[in-house]
Each structure stands twice: as structure tokens, then as C-alpha cells.
Amino acid sequence: MKLIIKPEKGLGKIEVEVNEELWRKIEHLGERYGASPERVIEIALTGGFRKPKGRLENLEGRVRKLEKKTWNLEKEYSSLRFKAYGLSEDNKILAIELSGLLAENAGLKRFLRMKPKRNPELRRLISYYLQG
């Protein structure tokens, strides 16, 4: 199989003959790590391999500690999220009630032949709480 590598800029290109066994290994690596064969070749040619900076056991221990810390933070955050949701729903209910009272007020003013006063800022606030 012929492999052609073209640069992003410029006219130069590299042509390499790759045998079937090597190509199967490249495809296997791509499947194993979830990368395309082209990406595997690019990493191999540029030396983009990452080497761990410590012993694997130490790194796995750090990952477990970070996972535990993450779950503890999630426990604290979930109760705050629940309270925030409750407040948001309360705000929606109050906005609906306020909207109804404003409509009733406008109807009473029309009944008394008074000029209804528009309050766009209050309408924007009600709209904000109804959407959130």
C-alpha cells in the first residue's frame, strides 16, 4: 500500500510504501485508541507520544483521590442545585400571580375610566422569571 503524506502548506510530499501487516497494526492501534489510521501515523512520525511523569500506580492513586473529591463536591452542589430549582419555580409562580394582578389592575382602571399606566421594566422582569 502506498502512503502519501502532504504538508498543510507548501508543495513537498512524502510517499512511503507500507506493507499489509504494518497497515493492519496501524488500523488496530487506531481502533484500540479511537483514532483514525492517519492520526496514528501522524503521532508516530511527529513523536507525539505521551509518557507518564510518574509511576502508573501513583497516577492511578491520584485519579482515585480526585474522583473522590469530585463526588464530595457533587454531593454539596446537588443540594444547592435543588434549592436553586425550588427558588426558580417559586419565582415563576410569583411572576404569574404578578402578571394576573397587573391585568386585573389595568381592567379596574379601564372600568373607572382612568388611563392605565404601562410599566415596561416590570413586564421585562416578569418575562425573565417566566422563561427561567
pLDDT in tens, 39-76: 887 777 777 666 767 787 888 889 999 999 999 999 98
Domain presence at residue 51: no
- Whole-model pTM over 0.75: no
Domain presence at residue 39: yes
Residues 71, 31 share a domain = no
Residues 119, 97 share a domain = yes
Q: Contact at 8 Å (CB) between 99 and 126?
A: yes
Domain presence at residue 28: yes
- Dihedrals phi, psi of 112, to nearest 5 degrees: -85, 5
The model's confidence at residue 37, banded by pLDDT at 50, 70 and 90, is confident
Q: Mean of the pLDDT values across residues 6-32? A: 82
Burial string for 57-93 (b: 16+ CB within 10 Å, else e) reads: eeeeeeeeeeeeeeeeeeeeeeeeeeeeeeeeeeeee
d(C-alpha 67, C-alpha 40), whole Å: 30
d(C-alpha 129, C-alpha 99), whole Å: 11
CA distances from 56 to 24, 35, 49, 59, 124 (A): 29, 23, 16, 5, 56
Q: Report how many domains make up the chain.
A: 2
pLDDT single digits (tens) 103-123: 999 999 999 999 888 888 989
Residues 80, 108 share a domain = yes
Beta bridge partners of 2: 17
Which amino acid does the sequence have at 132? G
Residue 109 lies in domain = 56-131
